[in-house]
């Protein structure tokens, strides 16, 4: 699975989100900032991102994904 595909899937599920990535092959780390995280505890934010890739984990297309979530900064 390519980093571009991962970013595209996150952007589709969480419109307006900002995504930073690192990693290669089928092991990636993502940092996602989204307004959709407002009001959610950290575990629910993590699950929201993780659930985007449920089918890819089950098929083995994606092996590991380290996730960090952030709330947007207030201006």
The pair of structure tokens assigned to 67 is 């996730």
41 falls within a domain:
yes
Q: Give the chain's residues under pLDDT 50.
A: 75
The answer to the question of residue 75 being in a domain is no
Q: Helices 3-13 & 42-52, crossing angle to 10 degrees? A: 120
> How much is the pLDDT for 75?
41
Number of domains within the chain: 1
Helix (H) or strand (E) holding 56: helix 54-59
End-to-end CA distance of the chain: 36
The whole-model pTM stands at 0.88
**pLDDT recorded at residue 72:** 92
What pLDDT does 74 receive? 56
Question: Which domain covers residue 44, as residue numbers?
Answer: 3-70
């Amino acid at each position: 699975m390519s980093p571009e595909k991962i970013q595209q899937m996150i952007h589709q599920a969480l419109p307006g989100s900002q995504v930073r990535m690192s990693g290669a092959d089928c092991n990636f780390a993502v940092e996602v900032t989204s307004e959709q995280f407002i009001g959610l505890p950290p575990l629910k934010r993590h699950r929201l991102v993780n659930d985007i890739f449920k089918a890819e984990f089950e098929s083995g297309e994606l092996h590991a994904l380290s996730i960090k979530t952030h709330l947007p900064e207030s201006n």
